[in-house]
Structures are given as structure tokens and as C-alpha cells.
Structure 1
Amino acid sequence: MSDNIKIELSDDEDIILSNKNQKKHKIAAIDDEEESDRVLSKSEKLKNLSKQVDEERKLQMDSENNVKKENDETKINIKRERSGSDNSNLSDVSSDEDEDLELKNAIKKRKLDEKEAAKKAELDAKKKKDEEDEKNKQQSGYSWEDKIQRPWDIVGTTPNEDAQDQQLLNKILHTRNQKQAVNTTPLQRGIIRSMIIIIDMSQTMAEKDYRPSRFQNVLNNTIQFIQEFFNMNPISQLGVVSLKDGLAQVISPLNGSPKFHVDALLQLKHERVEPRGFASLQNGLELARGMLMGVSTHCTKEVVLLYGSLSSTDPGNIMDTVTVLKEQEVRVAIIGLVAQVNICEKISRITNMSDNSYYNVAMNEQHFSELLMERIKPLPLAEGSEFTLIKMGFPTRIIESTPSFCSCHSKLNRGGYYCPSCNSKVCNLPIECPSCELMLILSTHLARSYHHLIPLKNYQEVPVEEIEKGLIPKYASCFSCKRDFPLLKRSKSNSLLSTMRYRCVDCEKDFCMECDDLIHGLLHNCPGCESKVVL
């Protein structure tokens, strides 16, 4: 029984397995049929797309050929109408080629003509812009009224001869006006000066209408001014004050050393001090008045204010400070950077004996430096001022074998100057002796200060008519440097712009422009007058 059961079970298993296999074969067949249908559908789609693309291409080619044929037929018809004779097909083809060449040449000519016309229009526009810029420069004086000048706009511009002539004339006229504006009448001036420079460091000085900014421009010009000031006024003293955050601070106290003040201003630049807050005129003038309190009576007291704000935040009535400055004979000169301020005009007028010329507003960077450099010359003394004799010492330099302490800085030095009164040692001159308060100077310092009292007369420009009439030779050389005078002529009329000769009224010698500037700016003595033999 057991064997029979096993056999039956095995038969049932075979039946079940056979049924499963049949189902698997059916499913695989169905999958194969579906895949084949998919492949066929894809291939049919691709074929249909390729057929459509081919048909579209054929249509495009046919349309292009038709257009070409129509163009050829129109050309042939035009030729036949012009010639009036029937030619062969070969002659028609050659004439077509000739006409094509003619058309191409005509198109090229038109393009070249258009390019030339565009270039001419650009050149005319540039010339008009240059002329407008020059007119604006001549009419406008303020820096914010001028147009922005970029170096890449200047490169590549065509030179305008008339504009160059006008620029030369403007430079000559500018130098002539500057020389004529210098007052050469001998006046009584105070050559021992005590000056306080007040620099506005409020937030308005961060504006960039002056390059690179108002504050940086003022610092650079102040450094140049200090060096030139001590060159022309070697026996004077100077101090620097700043206005910031409504307060006044001392940058460098009164001192006769230019290096001391220049180092203090350079330290501000290296530390990148930025202007901030508001400016207070009253605090700045009160601090300057306090610094000038200890100055001796034979010294002139001056304040130069470089102001860039349009208002002042003061703790009290500023007019009380102005009256005190007038009583103590402190003279205030103000240079504005932006616009005229009423209170600044009142301060300069009250402290300068009702003279309005000590308050000026700079129109641009160059004008500001010129106004600042005008403060180098000593101010004329007031009428009725008393004169006193000043005791001075003229020490000689001594070099020692062993170092000793100086009385001015308490440092060890091997050389220096000894006061003839108290025998104290100082490092540099001019200086006031720390022990006996005697003014110690050299004879060269007095000689450099003396030219302010008797200034050299201005040279007069030689007129062009003297050369044209033959009164003086056309080709000549400068009496000082022996170089030939340049002949500046106009580009079109070939006439002389200027003789570039400047004549001394006393000795009647002619000098060039460079020698004129050197003689009046540094030497202060005429070489022609000094070369005269006095019997």
C-alpha cells in the first residue's frame, strides 16, 4: 500500500509541474509578442519621421530651385530688353557673371562710403565735444561744475591746432595775471611770525569733489605749505589744530621745526584717520588763542582756517570769541572749500581791520593750493604799530669729542650750538634758548626773511611789436641761462603768440619764463642788476 501511494503522489507532482511549465511558456510567448510589437511600432515611427523629413527637404530644394530659375529668367529678360538682341546661352551666362561682379563692386563701394561717412560724423562729434568742454572750462570755475575727465577719453583724440593755440594763450595770460597780482610795493611786515593752522576734520571733509578727497587734499597741500613756509620764514613758528566731533585738538604745538609738523601730519595719513562729526569754529579759535597767549609782543599772531563745512556747532556765542581775538591782535584768514559762509566772512573782516580779502573760497584744487601759498608772505603791519628792538644771538656750530646733553631735547649729541648769553647747548637753529629765552638764529635766516621787506620788482613782458618792427633781434638768448628764447607761432597765420621774454625795468635785461620764476621765487635778486659794475 505504501508503494502504491508513493507512485500516485509522484504522478500528481508530475502533473502539477507540467501545468506550471505550460503557464511559464505562455507568459514568455506573450512577453515576446509585446516586445516585438513595441519594436515594430518604434521602427515604423522612425520610418514615418524620416519620410516626413525627406519630403520637407525635397520641398525646400524644389522651392529654392524655382526661385533660382525665376531669378535667372528675370535677369535674362532684363538683359535681352537692354541689348535688344537674342544671344546664345553662353553669352547670357557670361553677361550674368559680369553683372554679378558689377553688383558686388557697387555694394562694396556703398559700404566703404558708409564707413567713411560714419568716421567723419564721429570726428565732427568729437570736435564739437572738445569745443564745448573748452567753453565750459573757460566759463565755469568750480570743480563740481566741470565735466568728469577720464584718461581713456583723451587717448586717441585728434589734435586740434586752434585749441592748442588757445591753451598756450590761456597759460601765458594766467602766468601774466599771477605776476601782475603780486604786490611789490615795500611795506612794513612782521618777519617773526607765530601761525596756527586749523584743519577741518568733520564729516563733510570726506566728500570726494577734491581728489582723492577733501581731507587728503588738504593734508597734502598743508605739508607742502609748511615746508615752503619755513623756507621763506625761517625765524617763525607754526602749530596745527584739528576740528572733529565738535572739539578742537592739537596735532602739533608751536614749533620752529618743519620736520616736527610734517611728521605729525604724515602720522595722520599712516593711521588712516577719517573725518567725522561736526566742526566747531568757536572751540578751534579759542584753542588757537590759548596757544598764542605766550607769544612775545614782537611776533605777529596769525590763524589760517581751512574750512570745508557750511555750519558750525558752537557751545556759546562765537562773536564774544571774535571780539577777544580782535583785542589780542590775532588775525584770522579763512579758506573755504565749498561755498561762502556768512560767519566766516564776519570773522575775517573783524579781525583784519575790515579787509574782506582774507576770506576766499577755492574754486578747484589748483586754486586752493594757490590761495594757501599766498599765506606764506608776511602780513603788513597796522598803521601806528610800535617798533621795539629785539635782542638776538648768533651762535656758531661746535663739534665735541665727547657727547653732552642738549637743553632743548635732553639728548646726547656730539655737536650743536652754544648760546652766547648762557652757554646752553641746542641742537638746531632757529630756536628760542630754553634757559635764557634768547632768540638764536643765523645770519642766513635774516637774509632770507629780509626780501619780504623790500621785494624784487616784477619783470615786464616784452611786446611782440618790438620784434615785428625790428627793435630787438628775433633770435636771442636769456641773460641768465643763455638759452635761446622760444618762438611760439600760430599754426595757421604763422604769427607770434608771445615773445616769451621778460625784461627787468632797472637793468633792461631779458630773461626767460623759467629764470623769471626762479629769480622771483627763490633768489629775490636780479642777476642783471647785481652784475652792474659800480665805480
Structure 2
Amino acid sequence: MDPTNMDIDEQQQGYKWEVAYAEGLNLRDVLTEDEGGSIEKAVKRLVAEAKRQRRLVDRPSKVRLGIMRYIYIVIDCSLAMLDRALYPNRLAVTINILNKFLDKFFEQNPISQIGIILAKDKRAERLLPLTSNPSLIKESLSEINGTHCVGEFSLYNSLDRAFKGLQDLPSHTSREILLIMASLSTIDAELKRKGIRCSVIGLSAELYVCRKLCATTSGRYDVILDESHFEIILNDQINPPVVKKGMATNVVKMGFPKRSKIELPSFCVCHQADPIAPRDPESTDRAYFCPQCDARYCSVPIECRICGLTLLTAPQLARAHQNLTPLLAFAEVNLPQGDCYACRKKLEEKAYSCKKCNSLFCLDCDLILHESLQICPACH
């Protein structure tokens, strides 16, 4: 073969990494312009398809899941977060969607904990340590505004800060880092050795270093299309991850405290000299007493700071256990006839059929059953 022709062919095709990059993007499929030259309809179509596919995929069953999760959410607070690609800006949309996410997360993961780290000006600072109190997390998020966004984002420092907060936690728990970022720096291989799972949600373009980070730590990497797509991707983090083979297995001792009403003023462990709740210094009139050391707490679940016992209620433990036996995805049915089994609303274009009993449900009921109840009312 003529080497001159080979050079011409290579010049026409470009570098191999360019070809792979272009194939991964599928630009022709994604950016389909309408008659006015806009791609807005194409983006909406992709988001709708993502929602549909999410409903049709079965969650893993009969596998070991990490239902005791410790997650640090790292929020990029560099100047890139003030970009108006999302209205009014990336930071405001991120805070709004995170608040919605927290309610759904703790409903399905009541014995898990979340902490917040802010990354800005090439540094990373912990805004809130790990806690299972969603109200406290929301209060901390409400204090973040545009004045916090300064300098550049350092991926390495962010991962290092989260790693230090997770490395000493028990190995039988699921330790995770979720980064919401609009820029990048470098990556740390120590995370893989410690079994810490990293996931990244990109607010701008896809970055190879982030994809490599997620692949190395068995995490997930997504780049958002718009605000609705952002919410879908973040909600995918609600379900507990599958635990790797060889991970430590330990029996976790738990206590079920009895709820009591407090009539006389008294101190509780969760508010007395609490560094993570300085804005809420007063105890409530309800109390949960640790069955092992009798320490008082205002809410559960929580880890007793005196004896280390995990305190929670039976319904919360049952809710966490539901993740081990998820409801199978319903099959999509076109042009159904009849009414929704749950709400009795007349079915129109599409419905969703239980694979066991063949009962039909509307879209709204399908979402409630799979995202909250985790049971088919017709089968039970």
C-alpha cells in the first residue's frame, strides 16, 4: 500500500481519539434542529425518552446492596457556577434540585447520612458533616448564594477533603462521593483502594478525567441537558448501589428508642454544644431515649454519640429493607382499555402493566409505586 495514500486517509479521518469522541457524542442523533434551527425540541425529546427508559428498567434484585450509605455531596462553587446556561444560574438550579432530592433520598434511605462540601478558590471546605437530618442539610444549602462562588474549582482538593471524611467509616458501609461540577482539575487513585464510590454530574461538557474517575471507582458520570434532565440524573442516586464481592460483612447492632413527650425543660445530646447545629439551639418537646445508655435525642435515625448505637424506628428499618426487594418495572402498554387499578382514572394513550398480575396503572400511579411504595396493590 502506498504510504502517501495512508497519510491522506489519516488526515481525512483525523486522529483516532477524535473519531472515538465524536462517536461517543452521537451529535447527529442528539442535536437535531427543527425548521427554525433550534435544538430545544430535540433536548425535550431526549429528556422524555430518558424518563421513559428509567421506568422500564428493573432495579437489581437478590443482590447485596449498601443500604447504610455515607455520602458527601461536593458542590462546585467556582465562578463557573454563576453561568446562566441554567436559569437564573447553575448554582440556584443546583440548590433547588438538591432540596427536592433530599426528601426523596431520606424517604428511601432513612439510615443513611449526607454531608456537604463546597469547592471554591482552589480549596474545599466542609459546610456540613455527615448527618441524617434533612432539615439541617436544607438549612445549610439555603445559606449558599452567589457570593460564595469565587476562584477556580480543584477536583483533587475536593476529593481529598471528602476522602478524609469517609476513610475512617466502617468498611461494611457504602461510602460515596457525589460531585456536581462545572469545571475540573485532577483525580486521586487512593479512592479506589479504599472502596469509595465517586459519581459526577457535569453541568457543562463531558470531560475525560471525570469519566475515568467514575469508571475507576465504579461510579456514574452524567452530563445534564437541561434542568429537568438534571433532576432525573440526581434522582438516580437515590437507589443504593450494588456492593462489590469481597466487601466486609458485619452485624450492625441497632436500637429502637421509645418516643416520649417532654414536659419539663431538659438537655438533649443532639443540641447540647452541637457544632453542626448552631442555628437550632433549643430542644424539641419530643424525645427518643437510647435503650443502651439512656441518652436523649430529638429525632431519629441517628448514631448515639455516647455509646455509638444506631438508633432508628422499626418503620425506618423496614423502609431501608425495601431496597433489597424492589418492585419490578412495569411493562409499557400502548392504547390500553379500561381504568387505572389504583386511582380508577380512565387510561388514554399509554399504561403500565404489572408483570405478575397484568393489572394496568397510569403514569402517575406507576411513579408512586416504584419511587415510594415499592409494592403492587393488585398483587397484595
Q: Same fold, TM exceeding 0.5? A: yes
Please tell me whether the aligned partners of residues 188 and 380 of structure 1 are also in contact (alpha carbons under 8 angstroms). Answer: yes
- 1:71 matched to which residue of 2? none
- 1:522 matched to which residue of 2? 372
Letter in 1 for 2:376: C
Q: Which has the higher helix share?
A: 1
- 1:303 matched to which residue of 2? 177
Residue 333 (structure 1) aligned to one of 199, 219, 235: 199
Residue 190 (structure 2) aligned to one of 308, 324, 341: 324
What is the DSSP-based 3-state SS (H/G/I as helix, E as strand, rest coil) of the residue aligned with 1:199?
Answer: strand
* Pairwise CA distance, 1:181: 3.4
- 1:504 matched to which residue of 2? 354
* Pairwise CA distance, 1:391: 0.4
- 1:111 matched to which residue of 2? none
Matched, 1:211 2:82: no
Q: Deviations over 1:422-452 (max 9, x none)?
A: 1111111000111100000001111111221
- 2:222 matched to which residue of 1? 360
Please tell me whether the aligned partners of residues 406 and 413 of structure 1 are also in contact (alpha carbons under 8 angstroms). Answer: no
Letter in 1 for 2:305: P
Classify 1:172/1:218 alpha carbon distance in 2 versus 1 (closer, same or farther; 3 Å): closer
Q: Deviations over 1:184-237 (max 9, x none)?
A: 444211101000000111111111111111111112112222222112111111
* Pairwise CA distance, 1:298: 2.7
Aligned-partner Cα distance in 2 for 1:506–1:403: 54
Classify 1:400/1:174 alpha carbon distance in 2 versus 1 (closer, same or farther; 3 Å): closer
Classify 1:135/1:181 alpha carbon distance in 2 versus 1 (closer, same or farther; 3 Å): farther
TM-score scaled by structure 2?
A: 0.83
Matched, 1:444 2:347: no
What is the DSSP-based 3-state SS (H/G/I as helix, E as strand, rest coil) of the residue aligned with 2:198?
Answer: strand
Q: Deviations over 1:460-512 (max 9, x none)?
A: 12344xx7xxxxxx4x22221122223xxxxxxxxxxx3x2322121221222
Please tell me whether the aligned partners of residues 403 and 415 of structure 1 are also in contact (alpha carbons under 8 angstroms). Answer: no
Q: Aligned ranges for residues 83-162 of structure 1 at < 5 Å?
A: 132-133=35-36, 136-137=39-40, 139=42, 141=43
Q: Deviations over 1:63-92 (max 9, x none)?
A: xxxxxxxxxxxxxxxxxxxxxxxxxxxxxx
What is the DSSP-based 3-state SS (H/G/I as helix, E as strand, rest coil) of the residue aligned with 1:376?
Answer: coil
Classify 1:302/1:454 alpha carbon distance in 2 versus 1 (closer, same or farther; 3 Å): same
Aligned-partner Cα distance in 2 for 1:171–1:346: 25
Classify 1:175/1:346 alpha carbon distance in 2 versus 1 (closer, same or farther; 3 Å): closer
Aligned-partner Cα distance in 1 for 2:355–2:285: 50
- 2:276 matched to which residue of 1? none
* Pairwise CA distance, 1:274: 4.5
* Pairwise CA distance, 1:414: 4.4
- 2:252 matched to which residue of 1? 390
Matched, 1:245 2:121: yes
Letter in 1 for 2:308: E
Residue 372 (structure 1) aligned to one of 234, 249, 265: 234
- 1:288 matched to which residue of 2? 162
Matched, 1:344 2:219: no
Q: Aligned ranges for residues 158-169 of structure 1 at < 5 Å?
A: none
Task: Find the structure with the greater CA-based Rg.
Answer: 1
Residue ranges of structure 2 left out of the alignment (5+ in a row): 1-32, 273-281
Letter in 2 for 1:340: E
* Pairwise CA distance, 1:395: 0.9
- 1:113 matched to which residue of 2? none
* Pairwise CA distance, 1:138: 5.0
Classify 1:413/1:518 alpha carbon distance in 2 versus 1 (closer, same or farther; 3 Å): closer
What is the DSSP-based 3-state SS (H/G/I as helix, E as strand, rest coil) of the residue aligned with 2:265?
Answer: strand
Q: Aligned ranges for residues 464-475 of structure 1 at < 5 Å?
A: 464=335, 474=337
Q: Deviations over 1:35-57 (max 9, x none)?
A: xxxxxxxxxxxxxxxxxxxxxxx
* Pairwise CA distance, 1:336: 0.9
Aligned-partner Cα distance in 2 for 1:183–1:333: 18
Matched-pair identity in %: 31
- 2:70 matched to which residue of 1? 194
Letter in 1 for 2:231: S
Aligned-partner Cα distance in 2 for 1:197–1:187: 26
Please tell me whether the aligned partners of residues 303 and 330 of structure 1 are also in contact (alpha carbons under 8 angstroms). Answer: yes
Aligned-partner Cα distance in 1 for 2:49–2:230: 19
Residue ranges of structure 1 left out of the alignment (5+ in a row): 1-129, 144-166, 313-317, 468-473, 487-497, 531-535
Residue 481 (structure 1) aligned to one of 325, 338, 343: 343
TM-score scaled by structure 1?
A: 0.60
Please tell me whether the aligned partners of residues 200 and 306 of structure 1 are also in contact (alpha carbons under 8 angstroms). Answer: yes
Superposition CA RMSD, Å: 2.3
Residue 176 (structure 1) aligned to one of 36, 49, 52: 52
Aligned-partner Cα distance in 1 for 2:229–2:189: 30
Letter in 1 for 2:194: Q
What is the DSSP-based 3-state SS (H/G/I as helix, E as strand, rest coil) of the residue aligned with 2:325?
Answer: coil
